[in-house]
Amino acid sequence: MHGQRTLRRSISCAGIGLHSGHKVTLSLRPASANSGIRFRRSDLGGLEIPATVSHVGGINHATGLARDAVTVDTVEHLLAAFVSLGVDNAIVELSSPEVPIMDGSAAPFVYLIQEAGIKQLSAARRYLKVLRPISISRGDKRIALYPSDHFKVTYSIAFDHPLLRHQSRTIRVTEESFVEEIAPARTFGFLEEVEMMRQQGLALGGSLENAVVIGDTGVLNNALRFEDEFVRHKILDVIGDMALVGRPIIGHLIAHRGGHALHTAFAGRVLEETDAWTLVDAPVAPAATSPVILPVKDAVRVVN
Ligand SMILES: [Zn+2]
């Protein structure tokens, strides 16, 4: 059995919202077993929204949640960090409606979670194990889940821009691979879109400090963190959006040219297709994880 986990202690930081441009204080707090990830608005008397697909609200270059009149925006990078680091239960307290963008990646959230520490809870964690393919598509955008013994993500992107005509990557998502290969990948956008977004009241907090900006001939930032940082960030986004199913997934997710709207629609579809998956207590069959007990003679031979 893999037990559920939460944070060992509370931790806070300050930042700004990418789209709103507002200052925000973010506090991550421990929570009890089976309570999941819940966003709490301290500026609205502590009203809460569970991070589940049934509360998906506005999708506009970021994933938002809504419950009655309460909203929280840009939840995806933080959710990706929680699910990948195996934090099942936590309260995310915000002093304004948008999760701070930090440096545009999930690395600062990984740092916060690691600083807070992780605590085991006595309840079992249940994984959603995919039994048969599930997919949706919209035009040339497609996303699917296939049976696999591990959580893997394959993402491909294609843009009409010389810098990222096509990028594709497959990763088996573990705590280690997420921290090293995915979490540091930053949000990106095209320079020609920035002015349009600002006219719509978006990207007001955006800068080269928290996003990779792509101009006609290259990126405006000094350097990329990875040669294929863009597709790695799409993997980060889809991990965070799929966390809205409320459980870690065991399956191979394959997405082509997705975005938050497609990702979150797919998370909803997965929960609807209840015959396509089952809930299990461990990521692999117990027999495969049991230590192999060798007779003493064989053990000695192995060591030698
Ligand atoms: Zn993102």
Q: Tell me: the pLDDT tens digits for 157-186?
A: 999 888 888 999 999 999 999 999 999 999
| Mean of pLDDT over the chain | 91
> What is the Å distance from ligand 1's center to 234 Cα?
7
Among the listed residues 77, 233, 260, 263, the single catalytic one is 260
Residues forming a β-bridge with 251: 151
| pLDDT score for 160 | 87
Task: Provide the residues around ligand 1 (an ion) whose CB is within 5 A.
Answer: 187, 237
| Band (200; pLDDT cuts 50, 70, 90) | confident
CA 131 to ligand 1 centroid distance, Å: 29
What was the pLDDT predicted at 299?
38
- Using the mean position of ligand 1's atoms as its centre, give its distance from the Cα of residue 242 in Å: 13
Determine the pLDDT at residue 201. 86
Q: How far is the CA of 76 from the centre of ligand 1 (A)?
A: 7
| CA 153 to chain CA centroid, nearest Å | 12
CA of 120 relative to ligand 1 center, distance in Å: 29
Residue 298: the pLDDT is: 41
- Band (pLDDT 50/70/90 cuts) for residue 285 is low
pTM over 0.85: yes
260 is catalytic: yes
Which pLDDT does position 301 carry in this prediction?
Answer: 37
pLDDT average, residue stretch 146-158: 97
Q: What is the dihedral of CA 162, 168, 173, 176, to 10 degrees?
A: -50
| Predicted confidence band of residue 58 (pLDDT cuts 50, 70, 90) | confident
Q: Tens digits of per-residue pLDDT, 119-137? A: 999 999 999 999 999 999 9
Residues above pLDDT 70, as percent of the chain: 93
Q: Of the ranges 110-124, 201-215, 283-297, which one carries the lowest mean pLDDT score? A: 283-297
